[in-house]
Chains A and B, each alone.
Chain A
Amino acid sequence: MISKIVKSGLTRRTFLKSTAVTALSAGLPGASRAAGSTIRIGFLAPLTGAVAAWGKPGLDGCQIWAERVNAAGGIKLGDGSHEIEFVSYDNEYDPAKARTGATKLIREDGVSFIMMLGGDTWPGVQPVADKTGMLFSTLLPSDLSPDTSTLIAPAEVHPIYNVTGVEWLAENKPELKTAVMCAQDDALGLPSVATYLAAFEAAGIEMLDAPLLFDPATTDFAPVVTRLISKDPDIVCLDTCYSDYVHPIAEQLFQQGFKGQIISCTADFYDQMIAKTSEEFMEGFVFQFPDFDDPALNGSNINFTDPNGFYAEYNRRHPGQWGAVSWEYASIMDLWKAAAEKAGSASPDAVAAAMKDGKGKHAFGDADWWGTELFGIDNALVGDWPVVAIEQGKARIKDFRSIPDWYAKHGDLLVKHMQAYDQMWDQRS
């Protein structure tokens, strides 16, 4: 088979053909797509290591999603109903392992769609995506570029939605006039820094210092926090720090007596942060990811199926592990399922075309495919995003804000700061 492929030169067509034959010869059910057969979905994310908190809870959420969909009769395509099965590969947030995982999922497991966290791992996978035409999703739209035609960012337009938190803060707590910010110096932290800078500038909040970028290997945050609060800011912004950083930074802010406002992209496992600090200290902490038992998610605008039931089931199986990504991958599957049923097929090309035909059913309301200016391609689904604050020890949605509306008013600021940090799609090396 290999010699046949290499003689003819590998194209998308020969690649997919060989993959199907290989999968069939291995007796894999996902390859034949006979009515009633199982459709396999790839989950290629870090399940171990420092970034596992943004992979593992997502896989747990997907398993619940699959059980619920299968119990309701599966996915209905042109040739009948199919059950869904997830096949995972732990890429350890390493591009080389991500490439190996993508190869396995496509060429051996016969998956129809692959969900990724993205970031550092996407460039390792991109050649595989280019060769095979497989449809991939990322949580990090900074992976998007005109070259990534088979990559979509349908759940999270990180970090652009962070503007909604700052905008809400400026409107509801106008007494807050000054801010400082810290972030890990990596592919996740830098575009978020640019976004928060734009949001603060748009809100008229003064930055007292340049963002403090710390090395991702940092473990002692006492000096970071000491320097941060030395200028007595009203707001400390934790950017998009991993939970391994958010927790010790919050703890240090508490220990060093900070009394002001904290804003962060995430506050995963915030109950543990409260336990390490105090309920009073964490009161009013603003971030962007709700618990799905929030009453505000029962509105008619919400497209996520039964968010309260999903949250209850998740917490029953994985108590204390609900995080930012617990629902996101599952929400991508809602979108994928709707598109596959619309197309009547699970083939990557058909699903992608159906998905981008008209408005997208984003978890937090109908949204538009957007992003040419920032990402060079309209493959990010953008609409409303919630602003969440901790009140009496519990995360509560305070408001839904429109990202496109903010961008229409302040897009030039975002572009300016993104350019300053070399984060525009045409600046990425």
Chain B
Amino acid sequence: MPKFLIWTAALAALIALPHGLSFSQQEILVFLTINVLLVASYRLLTLTGEWSLGHVVIMGVGAYSSALLTKKLGVYVPVSMLLGGVIAALIAVLLSFPLFRMKGFYFLIGSFAAGEIIRLLWKRFRDPFGGAKGIKGIDPMPDFSAGFYQFDFFEPASYYYFAGAVVAVCLWILWRIEKSPVGLTFHAVHWQDKLAQASGVNVRAYRTLAFAIASGFAGISGALLAHYVGTINPNAFDIDLMVYVLTWAIVGGTATFYGPILGCVVLTVINEIVLRELGLEQMRPLIYGAIMILSILFLPNGLESIVQKFTQRRAAGGAPERRPAE
């Protein structure tokens, strides 16, 4: 029952959230919601022990696919978003053939190279990808009325509700996957790969599965971005954004489902709201870097370790400790 109340209160807070924010903060909230899905999907890949530098490009595959499906074929936007995720997953399956011949550091570098090849293809083929300028005038999500609420997707609050619902469903699916036997096998592939192999687990197939699922959800996050901003270009999915994703994951921690999400939320709020409001706009890269270094030095297990300490202490405090004298 208390768990149900906590979830209900959290949901109510998330619904009320945009109305307590300024217009520009609502905009940031939209991008934050999309990035939450991006970083959560990235964590699924890391469960198998592989860290990719191509995840943001895969996000771009979803964005480009969805944009082109609506622009060239007139596909209905929500359907194109879903197809964007499917295409991103399929591209990941294709990439897995060369990439999963490598492991660890080699996979990391290989994924970066694969991502760069995709980005160069977007630049090289102006038709249909728009070349260096990318694609603009991407169809927005069509407005509609849900009776109690008029969804005008130019308004950040409306898009936040839409993206929030999509991201919530995606996070629930990711959570269920992680807690399923498949998710446990992902962990086994990471921590006990020889043993898993000896037990009949096809390690490469599971790595491919994790890569494809993570890429599919990254693709959906890209599609959500494309149909909100209305424009995409190859530079929007370059290594700079990938560094941010890595930073969110490292600062938040990857041991728990919520770790990278926590990292994404905290660092985005600091970077986009706190530092700008403090008038330190041009100092942000410097301060952001310092925060990352300090968090690695003093919080090697990420922000999630603070939450874990707090929740463990509360759990211990809930049941009074027995003393020998008693």
Instruction: Give the CA-CA distance A199 to B128 in the complex, in Å.
Output: 29
Q: Are A429 and B135 in contact (CB under 8 A)?
A: yes
Chain A residue contacts of B28, Cβ below 8 A: 100
> Of the 9-residue stretches B43-51, B80-88, B153-161, B201-209, which lies at the interface with chain A?
B153-161
Interface residues of B in 67-109 (CB under 8 A from A): 71
- The one of B27, B233, B282 that contacts A187, using a Cβ cutoff of 8 Å: B233
Interface residues of B in 192-236 (CB under 8 A from A): 225, 228-233, 235-236
Interface residues of A in 180-208 (CB under 8 A from B): 185-187, 189-190
A403: Cβ under 8 A from any B Cβ: no
Tell me how far the C-beta of A15 lies from the nearest C-beta in chain B, rounded to whole angstroms: 9
Q: Are A120 and B233 in contact (CB under 8 A)?
A: yes
Instruction: Give the CA-CA distance A10 to B157 in the complex, in Å.
Output: 13
Chain B residue contacts of A428, Cβ below 8 A: 130, 133, 136
Chain A residue contacts of B24, Cβ below 8 A: 100-101, 103-104, 107-108
Chain B residue contacts of A5, Cβ below 8 A: 152, 155
A2: Cβ under 8 A from any B Cβ: yes
A253: Cβ under 8 A from any B Cβ: no
Interface of A is mostly: helix
Interface residues of B in 214-273 (CB under 8 A from A): 225, 228-233, 235-236, 238-240, 272
Instruction: Give the CA-CA distance A197 to B316 in the complex, in Å.
Output: 74
Tell me how far the C-beta of A265 lies from the nearest C-beta in chain B, rounded to whole angstroms: 17
Q: Are B126 and A6 in contact (CB under 8 A)?
A: no
Q: Are B135 and A216 in contact (CB under 8 A)?
A: no
Q: Are A104 and B22 in contact (CB under 8 A)?
A: yes
Interface residues of B in 257-302 (CB under 8 A from A): 272, 276, 281-282, 284-285
Q: Are B235 and A216 in contact (CB under 8 A)?
A: yes
A96: Cβ under 8 A from any B Cβ: yes
Q: Are B155 and A10 in contact (CB under 8 A)?
A: yes
Tell me how far the C-beta of B179 lies from the nearest C-beta in chain A, rounded to whole angstroms: 33
Instruction: Give the CA-CA distance A216 to B238 in the complex, in Å.
Output: 10
Q: Are A108 and B23 in contact (CB under 8 A)?
A: yes
Tell me how far the C-beta of B264 lies from the nearest C-beta in chain A, rounded to whole angstroms: 15
A9: Cβ under 8 A from any B Cβ: yes
Q: Are A127 and B131 in contact (CB under 8 A)?
A: no
Q: Are B133 and A120 in contact (CB under 8 A)?
A: yes
Instruction: Give the CA-CA distance A120 to B130 in the complex, in Å.
Output: 12
> Of the 9-residue stretches A87-95, A345-353, A368-376, A410-418, which lies at the interface with chain B?
A87-95
B314: Cβ under 8 A from any A Cβ: no
Q: Looking across the interface, which residue of chain B has its beta carbon closest to that of A188?
A: B132
Q: Are B233 and A131 in contact (CB under 8 A)?
A: no
Chain B residue contacts of A9, Cβ below 8 A: 150, 152
B9: Cβ under 8 A from any A Cβ: no
Q: Are B155 and A2 in contact (CB under 8 A)?
A: yes
Instruction: Give the CA-CA distance A101 to B24 in the complex, in Å.
Output: 7
Q: Are A99 and B133 in contact (CB under 8 A)?
A: no
A2, A9, A56, A215, most chain B CB atoms within 10 A: A2
Tell me how far the C-beta of A295 lies from the nearest C-beta in chain B, rounded to whole angstroms: 34
Chain B residue contacts of A56, Cβ below 8 A: 282
Chain B interfacial residues counted at CB < 8 A: 48
A124: Cβ under 8 A from any B Cβ: yes
Q: Are A123 and B158 in contact (CB under 8 A)?
A: no
Tell me how far the C-beta of B280 lies from the nearest C-beta in chain A, rounded to whole angstroms: 11
Q: Looking across the interface, which residue of chain A has its beta carbon closest to that of B232?
A: A95
Chain B residue contacts of A71, Cβ below 8 A: none
A366: Cβ under 8 A from any B Cβ: no
Q: Are B154 and A429 in contact (CB under 8 A)?
A: no
Instruction: Give the CA-CA distance A123 to B130 in the complex, in Å.
Output: 13
Q: Are A2 and B131 in contact (CB under 8 A)?
A: no
Interface residues of A in 386-429 (CB under 8 A from B): 422, 428-429
Q: Looking across the interface, which residue of chain A has its beta carbon closest to that of B136?
A: A123
> When A90-B282, A103-B27 are in contact, do A127 and B135 touch as well, CB less than 8 Å?
no
Instruction: Give the CA-CA distance A186 to B187 in the complex, in Å.
Output: 42
B136, B149, B152, most chain A CB atoms within 10 A: B136
Interface string of B294-314 (1 = CB under 8 A from A): 000000000000000000000
Tell me how far the C-beta of A230 lies from the nearest C-beta in chain B, rounded to whole angstroms: 23
A261: Cβ under 8 A from any B Cβ: no
Interface residues of B in 108-150 (CB under 8 A from A): 120, 123, 126, 128, 130-137, 140, 149-150
Instruction: Give the CA-CA distance A9 to B281 in the complex, in Å.
Output: 34
Chain B residue contacts of A10, Cβ below 8 A: 152, 154-155
A88, A89, A94, A131, most chain B CB atoms within 10 A: A94
Q: Looking across the interface, which residue of chain A has its beta carbon closest to that of B126?
A: A422
Instruction: Give the CA-CA distance A216 to B131 in the complex, in Å.
Output: 13
- The one of A7, A88, A103 that contacts B281, using a Cβ cutoff of 8 Å: A88
> When A2-B19, A6-B158, A7-B150 are in contact, do A96 and B225 touch as well, CB less than 8 Å?
yes
Instruction: Give the CA-CA distance A9 to B229 in the complex, in Å.
Output: 20
Instruction: Give the CA-CA distance A124 to B24 in the complex, in Å.
Output: 14
Tell me how far the C-beta of B109 lies from the nearest C-beta in chain A, rounded to whole angstroms: 15
Tell me how far the C-beta of B221 lies from the nearest C-beta in chain A, rounded to whole angstroms: 13
Interface residues of B in 17-52 (CB under 8 A from A): 19, 22-24, 27-28, 31
Interface residues of A in 240-291 (CB under 8 A from B): none
Chain B residue contacts of A429, Cβ below 8 A: 71, 126, 128, 130, 133-137
Instruction: Give the CA-CA distance A108 to B22 in the complex, in Å.
Output: 8
Instruction: Give the CA-CA distance A186 to B126 in the complex, in Å.
Output: 11
Q: Looking across the interface, which residue of chain A has its beta carbon closest to that of B27?
A: A100
Tell me how far the C-beta of B140 lies from the nearest C-beta in chain A, rounded to whole angstroms: 8
Tell me how far the C-beta of B155 lies from the nearest C-beta in chain A, rounded to whole angstroms: 6
Instruction: Give the CA-CA distance A95 to B235 in the complex, in Å.
Output: 10
Instruction: Give the CA-CA distance A260 to B9 in the complex, in Å.
Output: 71
> When A123-B231, A124-B229, A127-B230 are in contact, do A190 and B132 touch as well, CB less than 8 Å?
yes
- The one of A6, A101, A187 that contacts B150, using a Cβ cutoff of 8 Å: A6
Chain A residue contacts of B152, Cβ below 8 A: 5-6, 9-10
**Interface on A for B, CB 8 Å cutoff?**
2, 5-7, 9-10, 22, 47-49, 56, 88-90, 93-96, 99-101, 103-104, 107-108, 120, 123-124, 126-127, 131, 185-187, 189-190, 215-217, 422, 428-429
**Interface on B for A, CB 8 Å cutoff?**
19, 22-24, 27-28, 31, 71, 120, 123, 126, 128, 130-137, 140, 149-152, 154-158, 225, 228-233, 235-236, 238-240, 272, 276, 281-282, 284-285
> Assuming A9-B152, A429-B135, A429-B137, what are 12 further A-B pairs, CB within 8 angstroms?
A7-B150, A10-B154, A90-B284, A95-B236, A103-B24, A104-B22, A104-B23, A120-B233, A120-B236, A185-B131, A187-B233, A422-B126
Ordered nearest first, which 4 A-B pairs have the shortest CB separation?
A: A123-B231, A104-B24, A123-B136, A100-B27
9 sample A-B contacts, Cβ–Cβ < 8 Å, listed by A number: A5-B152, A94-B236, A96-B31, A96-B229, A99-B27, A100-B24, A422-B131, A428-B130, A429-B126
